[in-house]
């Protein structure tokens, strides 16, 4: 067995598979150092799961690293610009129950005690609306940049919404035509092993044995290599996050010039929540729910009612049913196999963490790519430690959206608010945050998934308040905070008339493209 890692086989396509293959090929393949051959093997019968994806701003850097232009993304993937998320009905379900989690950090974040100043003098104003200009841009459907802003540059921080199927197809063309990825369409009939237990090759029906030194499992929830072959189990999370199903449908606009939402809309329902993602030609809408708390028929009716209430057509296609077991793998890298995407785990689509974790996984594999099999165990330990921590933080952050709800209208929300369903780490943080705001000291790793600002947006958006007398500050610090609030307001006044709508910017990109930096 050759000790040098020269052949990487990515098993499974879709967003996770092609992102990983493209990044490895771009940074280690024939177009770079020339030492690595990347093969992507996928079944011709398995289509993508996605029905419309949201990303984090990290996707801009990922696309730049693999050489895909932003113009190409918008034109080929039905993409639009995303500036965060808006949560409707999560606190008490009342008519004014709305809060925002924008991608822009609060003005003056870490430079003053913004939370204390907000509570002392501006508590009637929603926290995000006071400290950031971005919720105001989203409320008016504004784009995050001007038509003259170069590719990937931002006036306001942003990610994307896009058609997941088209995204995978675009990455496939780019990987094969530009980056030299070998694409094999075939069925895997068997896993062939070395004497030491490593995977040696995958036996296919038409192409024989596809050999490799490192295998990346991107086979979705089936987890054919890490789960089925190696038997690495899921660490279940259904006692923390209850959702295990979703009904999803593509909804056409009733008018060609309908506004395109600048953020993901997440609207709470009696037994779950509905995502609403605006693309240039349609909306991607889906109802996430817990099968232990309701029925499929009740959820489908709630989904249809929502679509009608939000201006959708009276008749829609039959929603597609998705089932998942919330959890993540006990190990993500075992022997010479590493899981990326749904093979590694899935908890639920809230806050678009699934694709972000796939991006981060691909990036760490590329950065730490072992030169030899002997060093692979070291890399695997580092990878497993990093992603076990990341999954735990994702679960804490998503649970925060539920744990503070004051809704008691159904067992679904009452059970989510039960302290017994809360991870111990989150309980400890909430106890600390009774006396001080979330800070960078709560999240000590260099590359945290969610910064302390994200916790502040959700925490105070959900109505959390400290114990009386906490969060006090001196007059000088309060004066600095007020200065930052004025800066946020001034930026709002400046940006609103200067930025095009989301639809206007997308139309410009489709017709003229964006300039390169």
- Half-sphere exposure of 159 toward its Cβ, with a 13 Å CA cutoff? 25
Round to whole Å and give the CA distance between 120 and 108: 17
Round to whole Å and give the CA distance between 108 and 513: 34
The answer to whether 499 is annotated as binding is no
Q: Does 142 participate in catalysis according to the annotation?
A: no
Round to whole Å and give the CA distance between 221 and 264: 24
Round to whole Å and give the CA distance between 318 and 300: 9
The answer to whether 192 is annotated as binding is no
As a residue count, the chain comes to 517
Asked if residues 171 and 292 have their Cβ atoms less than 8 Å apart, the reply is no
For tokens 């307001």, the residue is: 489
Round to whole Å and give the CA distance between 404 and 402: 6
**What DSSP designation does 105 have?**
P
Asked if residues 411 and 434 have their Cβ atoms less than 8 Å apart, the reply is no
The answer to whether 166 is annotated as binding is no
Give kind and range of the element (H or E) at residue 364: helix 353-367
> Exposed (0-12), middle (13-18) or buried (19+): which is 303, by Cβ within 10 Å?
buried
b/e map 214-237, b = 16+ CB within 10 Å: bbbbbbbbebbbbbebbebebeeb
- At a CB cut-off of 8 Å and minimum separation 6, what does 96 contact? none
The two tokens of residue 141 are: 């459907």
At 173 the three-state DSSP class reads: helix
> How far is residue 171 from each of residues 76, 178, 303, 369, measured CA to CA in Å?
10, 10, 32, 21
Q: What are phi and psi of 340, to 5 degrees?
A: -130, 140
Q: What are phi and psi of 179, to 5 degrees?
A: -115, -5
Per DSSP, the residues of 279-308 read -SSEEEEEEEE-TTTS-HHHHHHHHHHHHH
The answer to whether 82 is annotated as binding is yes
The answer to whether 342 is annotated as binding is yes
Would you put residue 435 in left (φ > 0), alpha (ψ -120 to 50) or beta?
alpha
The answer to whether 188 is annotated as binding is yes
The answer to whether 15 is annotated as binding is yes
Nearest CA to 149 among 230, 65, 60, 67? 60
Round to whole Å and give the CA distance between 196 and 213: 13
- At a CB cut-off of 8 Å and minimum separation 6, what does 195 contact? none
The answer to whether 212 is annotated as binding is no
User: Which of 82, 142, 145, 399 is the catalytic position?
Assistant: 82
> How far is residue 393 from each of residues 115, 373, 437, measured CA to CA in Å?
22, 30, 18
Binding residue numbers for 7-chloro-L-tryptophan: 82
Binding residue numbers for L-tryptophan: 351
Binding residue numbers: 13-16, 82, 188, 342, 351
- Residues marked active site are found at 82
């Amino acid at each position: 067995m050759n000790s040098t890692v020269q052949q990487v086989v990515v098993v499974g396509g879709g967003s996770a598979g092609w992102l990983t293959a493209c990044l490895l090929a771009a940074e280690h393949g024939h177009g770079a150092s020339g030492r690595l051959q990347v093969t992507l093997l996928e079944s011709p019968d398995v289509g993508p799961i996605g029905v419309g994806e949201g990303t984090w701003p990290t996707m801009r850097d990922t696309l730049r690293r693999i050489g895909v232009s932003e113009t190409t993304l918008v034109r080929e993937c039905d993409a639009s610009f995303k500036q965060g998320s808006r949560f409707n009905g999560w606190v008490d379900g009342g008519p004014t129950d709305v809060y925002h989690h924008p991608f822009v950090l609060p003005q003056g974040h870490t430079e003053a005690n913004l939370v204390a100043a907000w509570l002392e003098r501006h508590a009637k104003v929603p926290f995000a609306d006071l400290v950031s200009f971005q919720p105001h841009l989203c409320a008016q459907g504004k784009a995050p940049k001007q038509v003259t802003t170069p590719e990937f540059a931002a006036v306001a921080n942003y990610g994307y919404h896009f058609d997941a199927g088209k995204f995978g197809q675009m990455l496939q063309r780019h990987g094969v035509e530009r980056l030299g990825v070998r694409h094999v369409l075939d069925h895997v009939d068997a896993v062939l092993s070395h004497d030491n237990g490593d995977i040696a090759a995958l036996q296919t029906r038409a192409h024989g044995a596809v050999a490799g030194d490192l295998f990346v499992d991107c086979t979705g929830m089936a987890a054919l290599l890490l789960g089925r072959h190696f038997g690495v189990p899921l660490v279940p999370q259904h006692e923390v996050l209850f959702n295990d199903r979703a009904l999803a449908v593509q909804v056409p606009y009733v008018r060609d010039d309908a506004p395109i939402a600048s953020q993901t809309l997440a609207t709470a329902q009696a037994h779950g929540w509905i995502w609403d993602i605006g693309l240039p030609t349609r909306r991607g809408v889906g109802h996430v729910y817990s099968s232990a708390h309701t029925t499929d028929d009740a959820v489908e009716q709630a989904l249809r009612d929502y679509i009608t209430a939000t201006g959708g057509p009276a008749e829609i296609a039959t929603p597609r049913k998705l089932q998942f077991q919330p959890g993540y793998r006990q190990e993500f890298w075992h022997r010479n196999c590493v899981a990326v995407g749904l093979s590694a785990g899935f908890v639920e689509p809230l806050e678009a963490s699934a694709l972000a974790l796939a991006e981060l996984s691909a990036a760490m594999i590329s950065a730490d790519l072992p030169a030899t099999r002997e060093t692979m165990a070291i890399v695997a330990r580092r990878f497993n430690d990093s992603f076990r921590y990341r999954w735990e933080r994702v679960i804490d952050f998503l649970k925060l959206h539920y744990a503070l709800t004051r809704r008691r209208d159904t067992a679904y929300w009452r059970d989510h608010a039960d302290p017994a369903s809360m991870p111990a780490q989150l309980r400890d943080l909430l106890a600390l945050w009774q006396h001080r705001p979330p800070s960078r000291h709560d999240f000590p790793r260099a590359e945290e998934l969610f910064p302390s600002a994200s916790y502040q947006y959700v925490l105070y958006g959900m109505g959390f308040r400290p114990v009386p007398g906490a969060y006090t500050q001196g007059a000088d610090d309060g004066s600095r905070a007020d200065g930052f609030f004025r800066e946020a307001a001034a930026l709002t006044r400046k940006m609103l008339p200067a930025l095009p709508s989301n639809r206007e910017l997308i139309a410009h990109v489709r017709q003229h493209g964006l300039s390169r930096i």
